[in-house]
Chain A
Amino acid sequence: MVRFIVRRMLQMAGVLVILSVLLFVWLKALPGGPVSAILGERATPSRRAALEAALGLDQPIHVQYLRFLDRALHGDFGASTGVLPGEDAFHVFLIRLPATIELSIVAITLAVALGIPLGYFAARRKGSLLDSGAVVFSLIGVAVPVFFTAFLLKYFVAVQWQLLPVSGRQDARLDATRVTGLFVLDGILTREWDAAWDATLHLILPALALATIPFAVIFRITRASVLDTLDADFVRTAESKGLTTKVIRGRHVLRNAMLPVVTTIGLSLGGLLAGAILTETVFSFPGIGDAIAQGYREKDYAVLQVLILASAAIFVIINLAVDIAYAIIDPRIRTR
């Protein structure tokens, strides 16, 4: 087990190193180079020269890369030019991170809470109306771009029927105390129930829209996996032993069918990051995704590079955690 974890961590480190090289090359390839990217096109020659020296652009390329790596590890990416002008870019990431964490947790919870039961019952009644309906629904879920789902929810629920707030994370008029940056949790911790409730209302629509991506995947994997398991020899053995249906379904079918589902859930967490760019943009939800889109529109490359590297790193780390969790659940994996 320890060997497995060490091997996986080494692989992860390798991926992160390659990612950092790619990001370094990306920065070099930016239109006008990093100096224009950071200072903008209209910078004076003296400021450009100063920054070039400060960035070490007169050094050989491997020295430049090592210095880039050094700064990246210290979270020093320069100042934001567009998203939060003047603010340290890494700080922008820290400010925006909790919103995306909150949104992703609610979205993945919704997707799991709906996808697994629906997938299970669809498989148990394969070919039934419930099954066909759910399969068609999940196929449509794949075909509908997430920003359009977000737009429909926003247009009807928030704008037309005015049931839920249109945008943002919390009503600006509420003077809520900040503890963790997760607004719902903050409200509960400080017993500011109105703040927690307001933040929850703001979360519902973006989370629903974002949840459609993992929902479709989790539903389909659960359905396929339960179908496979229902056919397995050990289930037939259990049946012929005369075990009750309840025990067979709980212990033999569900537990074994959940193995691939766990991996899927982990992998869809990364997909959420990409989906968050679109969903957060539609709802002006101030998370990482919204900052990435805004950073692109305003050519804020300092913020863009932090967010892209951090998002990729988060995704890689989540995958590692999923792999380890999977090895704990299923011992057969460790030997591979």
Chain B
Amino acid sequence: MTPMSYADRRKERIDALAAGSVDETPGVSLIASAWRRLRRDPVFLIGLAITVVFVVLAIISPWIAPHDPAAAPLLDKVRPQSNPVPGPEAGFPLGADDRGRDLLSRLLVGSRQTLVVGVVATLFGLAGGLVLGTLAGAFAGRVDSVVMRIVDVMLSVPSLLLAFTIGALAARPSQTTLIIAIAVIQVPIFARLLRGSMLGQRSSDHVLAARALGVKQHAIVFRHMLPNSLGPVIVQATLVLAIAIIDAAALSFLGLGNPDDRQPEWGQMLGRSQEFIYDYPHLAVYPALCIIVVALGFTLMGESLREALDPKTRR
């Protein structure tokens, strides 16, 4: 290698900057490098594909479902003694349920309620977690201790038991109580995560710099600390969404879900199928498979996101 003069080196470097490729300092942002890895990660792509298909189906299902999920076109085929659950026939590829309603249509439209319960509950949980976590992370000290005591008590009860306890309060189970119960158990998870990440930033350079410049406290919290803390929270939300869907199914199965079955929901369909489970297990298997595939989709996506955004695993 020939020795280069100082001026040559500078020139070369400026040229490289202009070309947009500085090889000396490979300052690739975390998100860019994460995306480069995710694009080639089959696990992430499978998870993403499942999630996209699920969301699209949930949105368009009322238009593509062959029948009205609440109507009972096969009601005259239902014989409580000899044939309580009509099997598949032309136009009804999966058969009907015990009230003569098309099973395929109910599964398709059921994706809506499942998505709504999961997403709305997670949004509420996220909102609650954001409020508590920001309070604790921004004010540290006494506020932090009080908020974290509340969070720790919530974490000290097994989450499904807590959700069950909250759901049992309602005079009549409904979709709303289901959403509230699921949202409450998510609050402490998000709160802890956000608080940890914000406390870590309190002494970081960019926050110190902002403080030295005389930026007001609320601006530091909302413009500098919060945006930088959201990454892990959003990744966690993907994983929590999967758990929310499974927990909602579990609560529905125990009878804490929406009792009005004109609006189908997978957990509720699963719960209702218990009566016929030995003779017609397909009534339980189809909604369960839907839940599993969707939960798996969110889990695969969330896990690979987490791994890709974790600086420790960067290569």
Interface residues of A (CB under 8 A from B): 14-15, 18-19, 22, 26, 29-32, 139-140, 142-148, 151, 155, 159, 270-271, 273-275, 277-278, 281, 292-293, 296-297, 304, 308, 311-312, 315-316, 319
- Contact A311–B161 (Cβ < 8 Å): yes
- Contact B254–A316 (Cβ < 8 Å): no
- Contact B161–A308 (Cβ < 8 Å): yes
Distance in Å: Cβ of A290 to nearest Cβ of chain B: 11
Count residues of B near A (Cβ-Cβ below 8 Å). Answer: 36
Distance in Å: Cβ of B17 to nearest Cβ of chain A: 37
- Contact A148–B156 (Cβ < 8 Å): no
Choose one: A15, A293, A308; the contact of B152 (CB below 8 Å).
A15
Chain B residue, CB-CB nearest to A147: B253
In B208-247, the 8 Å CB interface with A consists of: 242, 246
**Whole-angstrom distance between the alpha carbons of A139 and B301 in the complex?**
11
Chain B residue, CB-CB nearest to A272: B158
- Contact B157–A19 (Cβ < 8 Å): yes
Distance in Å: Cβ of A313 to nearest Cβ of chain B: 10
- Contact B169–A31 (Cβ < 8 Å): yes
Known: A26-B165, A143-B246, A151-B277. A312 touches B171 (CB 8 A): no
Choose one: A31, A144, A148, A277; the contact of B164 (CB below 8 Å).
A277
Q: Which residues of B contact A14 (CB under 8 A)?
A: 149
Distance in Å: Cβ of A14 to nearest Cβ of chain B: 7
Chain A residue, CB-CB nearest to B254: A293
Q: Sorted from nearest, which 3 A-B pairs have the closest CB atoms?
A: A31-B171, A274-B160, A274-B158
Check: B281 CB closer than 8 A to any chain A CB.
Answer: yes
Choose one: A15, A145, A304, A312; the contact of B249 (CB below 8 Å).
A145
Q: Which residues of B contact A15 (CB under 8 A)?
A: 152-153, 156
Choose one: A19, A31, A32, A145; the contact of B292 (CB below 8 Å).
A145
**Whole-angstrom distance between the alpha carbons of A316 and B156 in the complex?**
6
Chain B residue, CB-CB nearest to A142: B299
Known: A31-B170, A139-B303, A296-B164. A312 touches B250 (CB 8 A): no
**Interface bits B250-262 vs A (CB < 8 Å: 1, else 0):** 1001111000000
**Whole-angstrom distance between the alpha carbons of A139 and B249 in the complex?**
18
Q: Which residues of B contact A139 (CB under 8 A)?
A: 296, 299-300, 303
Q: Which residues of A contact B296 (CB under 8 A)?
A: 139-140, 143
Distance in Å: Cβ of B28 to nearest Cβ of chain A: 24
Known: A19-B157, A296-B255. A32 touches B168 (CB 8 A): no
Distance in Å: Cβ of B43 to nearest Cβ of chain A: 9
**Whole-angstrom distance between the alpha carbons of A31 and B173 in the complex?**
11
- Contact B250–A278 (Cβ < 8 Å): yes
Chain A residue, CB-CB nearest to B255: A297
**Whole-angstrom distance between the alpha carbons of A5 and B77 in the complex?**
67
Q: Which residues of B contact A155 (CB under 8 A)?
A: 277-278, 281
Check: B295 CB closer than 8 A to any chain A CB.
Answer: yes
In B113-154, the 8 Å CB interface with A consists of: 149, 152-153
Q: Which residues of B contact A147 (CB under 8 A)?
A: 250, 253
Interface residues of B (CB under 8 A from A): 149, 152-153, 156-161, 164-165, 168-171, 242, 246, 249-250, 253-256, 270, 277-278, 281, 284, 288, 291-292, 295-296, 299-300, 303
Chain B residue, CB-CB nearest to A271: B158
A interface, by DSSP: helix, strand, loop or mixed? Answer: helix
* Extra contacts besides A139-B299, A319-B156 (11): CB < 8 Å: A19-B156, A31-B171, A143-B242, A146-B250, A147-B253, A148-B291, A155-B277, A274-B158, A293-B254, A296-B168, A308-B165
- Contact A143–B168 (Cβ < 8 Å): no
Distance in Å: Cβ of A304 to nearest Cβ of chain B: 7
What are 23 residue pairs bridging A and B, where the CB atoms are less than 8 Å apart in the complex?
Answer: A15-B156, A19-B153, A19-B156, A29-B169, A30-B169, A139-B296, A139-B299, A139-B303, A142-B295, A143-B292, A144-B288, A144-B292, A145-B250, A145-B288, A147-B250, A274-B160, A275-B160, A277-B254, A278-B254, A292-B161, A296-B254, A315-B158, A319-B156
Chain B residue, CB-CB nearest to A270: B158
- Contact A312–B278 (Cβ < 8 Å): no
**Whole-angstrom distance between the alpha carbons of A155 and B279 in the complex?**
10
Q: Which residues of B contact A140 (CB under 8 A)?
A: 292, 296
- Contact B169–A26 (Cβ < 8 Å): yes
Q: Which residues of B contact A293 (CB under 8 A)?
A: 254
Residue from the set B152, B246, B256 with the largest chain A CB neighbour count within 10 Å: B246
Q: Which residues of A contact B168 (CB under 8 A)?
A: 296, 304
Chain A residue, CB-CB nearest to B249: A145
Distance in Å: Cβ of A22 to nearest Cβ of chain B: 8
- Contact B292–A148 (Cβ < 8 Å): yes
Distance in Å: Cβ of B3 to nearest Cβ of chain A: 38
Distance in Å: Cβ of A175 to nearest Cβ of chain B: 29
Q: Which residues of B contact A281 (CB under 8 A)?
A: 254
**Whole-angstrom distance between the alpha carbons of A292 and B255 in the complex?**
12
**Whole-angstrom distance between the alpha carbons of A18 and B148 in the complex?**
13
- Contact A312–B254 (Cβ < 8 Å): no
- Contact A312–B157 (Cβ < 8 Å): yes
Known: A15-B152, A159-B278, A304-B168. A273 touches B295 (CB 8 A): no
**Whole-angstrom distance between the alpha carbons of A296 and B157 in the complex?**
18
Chain B residue, CB-CB nearest to A293: B254
**Whole-angstrom distance between the alpha carbons of A292 and B149 in the complex?**
27
**Whole-angstrom distance between the alpha carbons of A319 and B270 in the complex?**
33
Distance in Å: Cβ of B171 to nearest Cβ of chain A: 4
Distance in Å: Cβ of A166 to nearest Cβ of chain B: 9
Residue from the set A275, A296, A311 with the largest chain B CB neighbour count within 10 Å: A296
Distance in Å: Cβ of B174 to nearest Cβ of chain A: 13
Chain A residue, CB-CB nearest to B246: A145
Q: Which residues of A contact B161 (CB under 8 A)?
A: 273-274, 277, 292, 308, 311-312
